Chain A
Amino acid sequence: MRIGIVTFPGSLDDVDAVRAVRIAGGEPLRLWHGDESVHGVDAVILPGGFSYGDYLRCGAIARFSPIMAEIIRLAGPPDAASPGLPVLGICNGFQVLCESHLLPGALVRNDSRTFVCRDQRLRIERTDTVWTNGYAPDEEIVVPLKNGEGGFVADRATLDRLDGEGRVVARYLELNPNGSYRDIAGVSNAAGTVVGLMPHPEHAVEPLFGPDHDAQGRSGSTDGLRFFTSVLQGALSV
């Protein structure tokens, strides 16, 4: 199974997403922003970072890159019932997905007005997505969060819809690190193929290089790995 990881100018966690896919047992393929083709990969990851220096708005410029035109086309509109290309947007990738209107809402500056790096507890609330089917419903995990513009916002009607249709993928527990409305850490499209997530599962895949503890308090968290193993399962069952 080939998972494409896009590199925009300024992408940072692309190498980490590549590593996570490899550890999960998938075949990572690096994609260049200027390329119009995704080369037939089975799924795409838009990684974290500061694409285009966050000029204008985070993800605002990346959204217009040639590869995004193709990804937008293949992913399909957010409310479509039939599944298109699976896409996982992490942090800056989530911002790109919102700017692309593949997901609703937007990400704004942390309410603390500072960059926050912390080991964040989350609840996985939607497990029938391509990216989260490996988690148990309402499972709690600990993965790193690190951003300056992580506040998820949307109008009330959209928030009610996301809640009502069970499209909130993950919620912050114990502490809301950025002022996201309704503690939303990640959302999905209707079909469950496109997921945007603020925290970084790719940084909780090797026990010694991630958070000190996982959600069970065990030493070293690999709680993020199942985002990457899930997609391998999901593709097989489609």
Chain B
Amino acid sequence: MERVRSVDTVGDAARTPDLPQPYGELGLADDEYARIRHILGRRPTSSELAMYSVMWSEHCSYKSSKVHLRRFGATTTEAMRRHLLVGIGENAGVVDIGSGWAVTFKIESHNHPSFVEPYQGAATGVGGIVRDILAMGARPIAVMDSLRFGDLRHLDTRRVLPGVVAGVGGYGNCLGLPNIGGEVVLDPVYQGNPLVNALCVGAMKHDEIHLAAARGEGNLVVLFGARTGGDGIGGVSVLASETFDASPDREGPAKRPSVQVGDPFAEKVLIECCLELFAANVVDGIQDLGGAGLSCATSELASNGDGGMVIHLDRVPLRDPSLRPEEILMSESQERMMAIVRPDDLESFLQITTRWDVEAAVLGEVTSSGRLEVLWHGETIVDVPPRTVAHEGPVYSRPLRRPARLDRLRARTPDRLPRPSTGEGLRALLLRMVASPNLCSRAWVTDQYDRYVRGNTALAMPDDAGVVRVDEETGLGVALALDGNGRYGALDPYQGARLALAEAYRNVAAAGARPLAVTDCLNFGSPQDPGVMWQFAQAVEGLADGCVELGIPVTGGNVSFYNQTGDVAVHPTPVVGVLGVLDDVGRRTPSGWRTPGQAIYLLGATREELGGSEWAFAEHGHLGGVPPVVHLADEQRLADILVNSSRDGLVDAAHDLCEGGLAQALVEACLRYGVGARVWLDEVCERDGVSPFAALFAESTARAVVAVPRSEEVRFTDMCAARGIPFARIGVVDDGGSGADGEPVLDVQGLFTVSLAELRSAFEATLPAVLDA
């Protein structure tokens, strides 16, 4: 049957300049629409309008964040760039890790879709970030995820959390990517706005880097992967005058899903196919299709390259033949890539895609016109300068204003909150804390993830960082940690960002890896709220300044705005990923001790810092005061100690201190291998002037606990002294304690003793009790 539907062509647009267009419903402001008309010298066609509307959306154009994000590039020094092979601006940053190897990594959000459809929202979030890594020319080697949900016991959390976890696992496991770590945070502030941030890391040789540029007149533009359907086209249906009534004369499905549906098998096949294409050297440029689908891929490839491209949209393989061209341009069907292929290479290219049963279609070619032209059955429906679509979108300097309530929040310190001082009280508090929703075991989640596939995972949850081997011959590998803290951000967005950076940096060092680079996912409320915008600007500044102090650059990342329900925005939640390198992943340091008799040292100084702490929140529902002070120079010194002593075998275990303080770190280090400890706090309390309560539950920064073999104690303490790191010998690793039958215990001398069995029971029960009920 002939598809006779009149399509809005460039000719039509020139002839009918005053045709009213639904630009408002597509999210374009009056001035933005006027600017499009000015750029084109006429009204846009409906396809061009669709293209601009989605590419100029917040998600694609970063229009509210660009002016602030520039700070990253502006503050990155040459020294910070020394390991960077590709910086901000590409699909992902690329870091040189030595011996001709490079890794590429990035984090992205898929928050709103995960609230609507938890499984597919999370699954396609993973799929999208994996394709970004693949598009750099790398083999994806691992994933991580940072998840935030509402209150654990809320009914809707029971809908969202299991679905998201199943989606992350379902997609990642099926792709054959080990999940090596991340975080799960539960806080009512995220009830209506869960945060799903997915990270992927890939490895390649230096000469395997591919970029997303369309160069070389006459080179072919090839779309390959899954067929295109009506996924995720959302508001574009306005152009097709769609209603959501199913009437008999409708030619196609009347309803379009707003959340994309993923097929991880298709992506696995696509990955293997792409890597073979790269190896055969038949790909000149490559881009993945993510948000805004073909609109994005074509305009970005053209804009990054020689600037001209012609596309025959009717050649796109379709799942749904009723799609209009505007819909095809906007479709966010998953598992698709776009390659620029030299004509001489096409045959080899198609041989490989055929072998993998991957569909490929030559859509058009690179031109010298400087325009992106899209044709539909021979008629021109798009003729635009690609730069204006992809890179010259609107840039807003939204108003910022420090929220007035922030002073009240900071004034409401936790100082007067009741806290136990007796051994019995502290013991009971400890058991409540390890069972609290944010400190308890995440095994319910992480047992749904394959950590082993590809056989290169040297460390994964619950350790501080995920560690993956890259080179099987030498053991060269990378470590990654992903951290954030929304409560700290709420109290001080500038410091909150620095604290997130410090934590991820510290975690990478605790595993024994030298931190090299940073990625970030900035999750905030509405940019139209000056208070939120102020928080955002502060966080970017804090993170950029922090990176300069630590000497490691942000290589790429993601911004997610509009995480808010009505007036309630989520806490400012920058999630920071730090990547480090290990010359030999065999030397990585786990987070728990296992050799009795080893000395336990606490590194760093403790202050009475409970603002924004897990204790204040879990025990008293309190958020107020100021977050812990962060001195990045101290973090650097600590990291040096951790990395060097790991490499030299001076420590057998290292665990950073963060949420839940020393108490949580000690419990986790004991439960890691089920080996107890005898510790004493009096030296630390006296030296730092803090109570036992504060010693256990304060969240001061730049601290870690380590287990040191007796034979290495002198060398270790000399190293600490030389670097000016406060250290205190606070205990001994002890397999048989004062428990019955020598069962392992955590004995905090002078205060309390608790068996590991009791701790484990409290630690492991919480999530299953609620989620499996």
Contact = CB atoms under 8 A, between A and B. Distances in A.
A120 B469 CA distance: 23
A219 B453 contact: no
Contacts of A55: 265
Contacts of B263: 53
B176 interface: yes
Contact of B448 (A49, A115, A210): A115
B673 interface: yes
A15 interface: yes
B169 A115 contact: yes
A13 B174 CA distance: 11
A139 to B, nearest CB: 22
B342 interface: no
Interface in B620-649: none
A53 B176 contact: no
Nearest to B459: A208
Given A53-B266, A209-B455, A146 B450 contact: yes
A16 B455 contact: yes
Interface string A114-143: 111110000000000000000000000000
B456 interface: yes
Given A116-B447, A202-B455, A208-B458, A10 B170 contact: no
Kindly name the residue among B169, B448, B450 whose own CB sees the greatest number of chain A CB atoms within 10 A.
B450
Contact of B166 (A12, A114, A118): A114
Interface in A193-228: 200, 202-203, 205-206, 208-210, 212, 219
A144 interface: yes
A9 interface: yes
A50 interface: yes
Contact of B269 (A10, A117, A206, A210): A10
A30 interface: no
B452 A210 contact: yes
Interface in B155-176: 166, 169-170, 173-176
B586 interface: yes
Contacts of B269: 9-10
Kindly name the residue among B265, B457, B594 whose own CB sees the greatest number of chain A CB atoms within 10 A.
B265
Contact of A52 (B173, B265, B448, B455): B265
A203 B452 contact: yes
Interface residues of A, number: 33
B451 interface: yes
B118 interface: no
B517 to A, nearest CB: 24
Contact of B176 (A49, A148, A208): A49
Contacts of B454: 12, 15-16
Contacts of B451: 117, 146
A144 B455 contact: no
Contacts of A54: 174, 265
B752 interface: no
Given A208-B585, A209-B458, A117 B452 contact: yes
A76 B356 CA distance: 30
A49 B174 CA distance: 7
Contacts of A206: 455
A223 to B, nearest CB: 14
A209 B456 contact: yes
A115 B455 contact: no
Interface residues of B, number: 36
Given A10-B265, A53-B174, A117 B448 contact: yes
Contacts of A10: 174, 265, 268-269
B210 to A, nearest CB: 22
B407 interface: no
B455 A203 contact: yes
B453 to A, nearest CB: 5
Contacts of B586: 208
Kindly name the residue among B451, B455, B456, B472 whose own CB sees the greatest number of chain A CB atoms within 10 A.
B455
Contacts of B493: none
A205 B455 CA distance: 9
Contacts of A109: none
Kindly name the residue among B269, B453, B588 whose own CB sees the greatest number of chain A CB atoms within 10 A.
B453
A20 to B, nearest CB: 8
B455 A15 contact: yes
B453 A146 contact: yes
B268 A50 contact: yes
Given A9-B357, A208-B585, A209-B457, A117 B449 contact: yes
A2 interface: no
Contacts of A13: 176, 453
B121 interface: no
A9 B453 CA distance: 16
Contacts of A57: none
B725 to A, nearest CB: 28
Interface string A99-114: 0000000000000001
Interface in A47-98: 48-50, 52-55
Nearest to A177: B447
Interface string B449-489: 11111111110000000000100100000000000000000
B444 to A, nearest CB: 9
A115 B673 contact: no
Kindly name the residue among A34, A115, A144 whose own CB sees the greatest number of chain B CB atoms within 10 A.
A115
A15 B446 CA distance: 23
Given A50-B268, A53-B174, A116-B447, A9 B356 contact: yes
Contacts of A9: 265, 268-269, 356-357
B264 interface: yes
B17 to A, nearest CB: 50
Nearest to B269: A9
A33 B175 CA distance: 18
Contacts of B166: 114-115
Contact of A50 (B174, B449, B457, B594): B174
A144 B265 contact: no
Contacts of B357: 9
B344 to A, nearest CB: 26
Given A116-B447, A117-B447, A200 B265 contact: no
Kindly name the residue among A12, A15, A55, A117 whose own CB sees the greatest number of chain B CB atoms within 10 A.
A117
Nearest to A52: B265
B228 to A, nearest CB: 19
Given A9-B356, A50-B265, A114 B456 contact: no
B450 A117 contact: yes
A124 B456 CA distance: 26
Contacts of A114: 166, 447-448
Interface string B672-691: 01000000000000000000
Contacts of A210: 452
Nearest to B443: A118
Nearest to A209: B455
Contacts of A205: 455
Contacts of B450: 115, 117, 146
B658 to A, nearest CB: 23
Contacts of B174: 10, 50, 53-54
22 contacts: A9-B268, A9-B356, A12-B175, A12-B176, A12-B454, A15-B454, A15-B455, A16-B453, A16-B455, A48-B453, A50-B173, A50-B174, A52-B265, A55-B265, A114-B447, A117-B451, A118-B447, A205-B455, A208-B586, A209-B455, A209-B469, A212-B673
Interface of B: 166, 169-170, 173-176, 263-266, 268-269, 355-357, 446-458, 469, 472, 585-586, 588, 594, 673
Interface of A: 9-10, 12-13, 15-16, 19, 34, 48-50, 52-55, 114-118, 144, 146, 148, 200, 202-203, 205-206, 208-210, 212, 219
Given A114-B166, A115-B450, A148-B173, 16 more contacts: A9-B265, A10-B265, A10-B268, A12-B268, A13-B176, A15-B454, A48-B453, A50-B265, A50-B268, A52-B265, A53-B264, A117-B446, A118-B447, A146-B453, A200-B452, A210-B452
Give the 7 A-B residue pairs with the shortest CB-CB distance, closest first: A53-B265, A12-B176, A16-B455, A203-B452, A50-B174, A146-B450, A115-B448
